[in-house]
Amino acid sequence: MEDILKKYEMTIGIECHVQLKTKTKLFSGSDNDARDKEPNEATSPIDFGLPGMLPVLNKEAVVLAVRAGKALNAKIANVSRFDRKHYFYPDLPKGYQTSQLYQPIIGEGEIKPILPNGEEFTVRIEHAHLEEDAGKLTHYGDYSLVDLNRAGTPLIEIVSMPDIHSSEQARAYAEELHRRMIFADVTEGDLYQGNMRFDVNISARKIGDPKLGTRTEIKNLNSFRSVERAAQYEFERQVKLLEKGEKIKQETRGWLDDEQKTVSQRSKEEAQDYRYMPDPDIPPVVLSNEEITKMQAGFPMMPNQYREYWKKLDLDSSVVNFALSHKEVAELMQAILGEGYHKTQKELIDELEIEDYDIKNHNENVKRIFNWFASIPADELDLHKIWMGYAGPRRTLRLANMVQKNQLSSTGAKEIFMSFFDESTAGKMPEEIAKERNLLQVSDEGAIAKIVDEVLALEESQKAIADIKAGNDKAIGFLVGLIMKKSQGKANPAMAQKLIRERI
């Protein structure tokens, strides 16, 4: 099958629905946060589509859409309009969805995702438009219940061009889009809650064929893994059909995560099937260039900018991806690096009042802190505490400085780092925590020399000593291990190794 797949090209375009983090809905004053609410509680007569109810556009949704557009490197329309997309469904009481077909608020743009191997590729954004979400249906055998808490939730739908050509690229694009919307602070980005959902349009054609194949759309994927696996499954399904001489049906398909396969849901509708028409109840959105600039003021750094700053640290790609997957970590690391925040590294250290700090090793200290974050599962740390002072710049850099000065072992430093997220150590500096937990490393040469001499005299050390003399340098690790055990982990291992070499 693998050889057959190589004869075909996968082509993917992705539509991503992003729920905007406004307090109220797109056209009503209902609460936009339906979590932990009873069904149909976060609603109003407008959400129910009752006769005579007129929509009022939420200005904050427009502001967030304009900021999202900047994250997509996209043009913002000076004039955009709303249209009615007609279809009947029980969770759409008006009989139409208010969307933007003809004049969307966000125009052409592009982003450059990065694959795990570091390869960069470009995905063009066709446009992104504002629209309201529909409600939710829950099915019970021969009947269904309607919950309109979600009806009227403000969304932007980001439509990519068909520039994606592998399931791996599809996942990387979805991840980059998610990061950008989070960093731009336009959405909560909780995939489990459906704050971002992906529709994957995919087709297969033989390599060299100028015409794209018939596409299918896989709806409502809410995890990066599902985007990747659904795309790969559907590509292989289409190739198998084409190899048999069968035609691909243009249809909407669903992804069954438990069975890891797509299933047909309905034939794919085209724009004309929805009988779009301009919405007469909503005036056009008219934005001057000055208003757009004001809405985009104070825009935060995007993932690609962080990556550029961090290149000099020579970090493993998994460490970079971890930081970029957690906005709090990325912002902290950039603040600690002391670049892009309008202050030099020296000014940062002076401000943090870290004594005896070796500024020449600052980047090494920053790299060390990166690795501490990435080495601990995120669910073990409350990362929201970072900017509450628990693991802020002062504590983390002072801790890294202690390791740099050989005052702490790597194990001891990691223990103290994790303690930063514990209420019991709130306000305590790493030096105080190290003393309380008896973690300070012994760097006194005389004290370590005494332990080294005792260890070298042991009978169990003689084979390792002979191996070192014979040229097997790795055997020194055994002796250092004995020294660390005898010193209860407090001896400076580098100094211990130096003293062993001097004596042998």
300-315 pLDDT per residue, tens: 999 999 999 999 999 9
Give the Cα separation of 4 and 7 in Å (integer): 6
pLDDT given for residue 457 in this prediction: 81
Tokens of 481: 């291990």
Note whether 144 and 86 are same-domain residues: yes
Mean pLDDT of 393-405: 91
Model confidence pLDDT, tens digit, residues 102-157: 999 999 999 999 998 889 999 999 999 999 999 999 999 999 999 999 999 999 99
Note whether 333 and 242 are same-domain residues: no
Note whether 490 and 429 are same-domain residues: no
Cα–Cα distances in Å, from 197 out to 177, 224, 343, 389? Answer: 11, 10, 39, 34
Query: Residue 193 pLDDT > 60, yes or no?
Result: yes
Give the Cα separation of 273 and 128 in Å (integer): 21
Under 8 Å between Cβ of 363 and 345: no
* Domain final residue pick, 418, 436, 454: 436
Cα–Cα distances in Å, from 11 out to 19, 302, 429? Answer: 26, 27, 54
* Domain final residue pick, 230, 262, 291: 291
Note whether 464 and 415 are same-domain residues: no
Q: Assess if residue 136 is contained within a domain.
A: yes
- One-letter amino acid identity for 203? S
pLDDT given for residue 444 in this prediction: 61
Under 8 Å between Cβ of 400 and 424: no
Range 137-155 burial, b when 16+ CB lie within 10 A, else e: eeeeeeeeebbbbbbbbbb
Q: How high does pLDDT run on average in the chain?
A: 91
User: Torsion angle, CA of 58/63/68/73, rounded to 10 degrees?
Assistant: 140
Note whether 375 and 471 are same-domain residues: no
pLDDT given for residue 232 in this prediction: 98
pLDDT grade for 169, boundaries at 50, 70 and 90: very high
Query: Residue 342 pLDDT > 60, yes or no?
Result: no
Note whether 228 and 334 are same-domain residues: no
Helix (H, G, I), strand (E, B) or coil at 30: coil
Query: Residue 343 pLDDT > 80, yes or no?
Result: no
* Domain final residue pick, 436, 468, 490: 436
pLDDT given for residue 341 in this prediction: 59
The whole-model pTM stands at 0.86
Kind and range of the H or E run holding 229: helix 224-243
Range of the domain at 347: 303-436
Terminal-to-terminal C-alpha distance of the chain: 61
**What is the count of structural domains for the chain?**
3
Under 8 Å between Cβ of 233 and 260: yes
Mean pLDDT of 455-463: 84
pLDDT grade for 264, boundaries at 50, 70 and 90: very high
